[in-house]
Amino acid sequence: MANLARVQVLVSGRVQGVFFRAYTRDRAMALGLTGWVRNLPDGRVAAVFEGDREKIDRMLAWLRQGPPYAAVDEVLTDWQPPLGEFQDFRIAY
């Protein structure tokens, strides 16, 4: 994969208690991305995505809308060098 990328994301808004993590996992897996997603104690959702840059961009566009019943206020991104440490995408606890 010539265009490998990694981004750490913080999503704020009404993003807990609305199946945000499950929808995010399903979407990331459908795009062939690896990484994880988890709830934070402050009400935000954190995630790391690794894979093709174009697919990550598509994931970020989806995150800005979120799943049904979510209300996303902000998506903060921190682009990092890809590490290739993940085998799949999962919900972290």
Tens digit of each residue's pLDDT (9 = 90 or more) over 34-47? 999 999 999 999 99
Helix (H, G, I), strand (E, B) or coil at 72: strand
8 Å CB contact between 29 and 88: yes
What value does the mean pLDDT take over residues 37-66?
Answer: 98
Fold of 4-82: Alpha-Beta Plaits (3.30.70)
pLDDT of residue 25: 98
**Has residue 1 got a pLDDT over 60?**
no
Which DSSP state fits 68? T
Catalytic residue positions? 21, 39
pLDDT of residue 2: 66
Give, in order, the Cα–Cα distances in Å from 46 to each of 2, 3, 26, 63, 87: 26, 23, 16, 11, 18
